[in-house]
Amino acid sequence: MSQWEMIIRLVLSGVLGGLIGFERRSHFKEAGLRTHFVVAVGSALIMLVSKYGFTDLLYTNAISVDPSRIAAQVVSGIGFLGAGTIIVEHQFVRGLTTAAGLWATAGIGIAIGAGMYIPGISATVLILVALEIFNKFKKTVSYSMGRADLSPDGINPALDTLKNSKIKISGIQVNRHYNKTDKDLEVRLTFRIYTKNQNETKKIMVSLLKIPYVKNVNIE
């Protein structure tokens, strides 16, 4: 293979990875265009090295070359980057799609580096189309995250308020912790509100704030 064709593969990998990164960045995700571009180009480079970097040893006695061994490490190694984009906040997980996108981008880079142009391009198009479709579907069932800080006596009244609401509320979590300053037991209530109606959201906030034991409420 010529050096120029290797460069073309690297450029094509970067373009395809950048497209996925641009889509992620347009939705304000943790890993964007630059990260996906670097992952794709790096994966393609590793595949090229794995496949063509040891051709001078092919005719050396007692040495066997396995082109898949180095490339296989990309699949497991990319997990470290993916883990960095996953955020756990109040027992809710965010960033899984971006982590999966990085993993898929690495696969695209490997495919292009191996000369599998059609599968690599097809995978890119499929991922972009699927992400856009699912993002539009997600908007139709979007939800807001709610948090309320209260004293232990307010747990039952707050739960009753949420359960009696006319809109869908799920993922209710009750976390207890001690206030280091006053050394009192405090409670943080987290929940999901499935509605696009801001008035309904405000009604829930007002209802919770009317409870004497509730200190503050935040819904975003």
- Specify the pTM: 0.58
pLDDT for res 191 = 87
Share of the chain above pLDDT 70, in %: 82
Mean pLDDT of 181-203: 79
Would you say residue 39 has pLDDT above 80?
yes
Of 39-43, 92-96, 216-220, give the lowest mean pLDDT range: 92-96
Question: Over the stretch 131-177, which tens digit does the pLDDT of each residue have?
Answer: 887 777 665 556 778 888 888 888 898 888 888 888 888 888 888 87
Distance between CA atoms of residues 134 and 150, nearest Å: 36
Average pLDDT of the chain to the nearest whole number? 80
Mean pLDDT of 67-84: 74
What's the pLDDT band for 181 if we cut at 50, 70, 90?
low
Domain range list for the chain: 3-140, 144-219
Contact between 90 and 173 under an 8 Å Cβ cutoff? The reply is: yes
Would you say residue 88 has pLDDT above 60?
no
The better pLDDT of the pair 71, 189 is held by: 189
Would you say residue 2 has pLDDT above 70?
yes
Would you say residue 91 has pLDDT above 60?
no
Q: Which fold has domain 144-219?
A: Alpha-Beta Plaits (3.30.70)
What's the pLDDT band for 213 if we cut at 50, 70, 90?
confident
Contact between 218 and 144 under an 8 Å Cβ cutoff? The reply is: no
Would you say residue 92 has pLDDT above 60?
no
What's the pLDDT band for 219 if we cut at 50, 70, 90?
confident
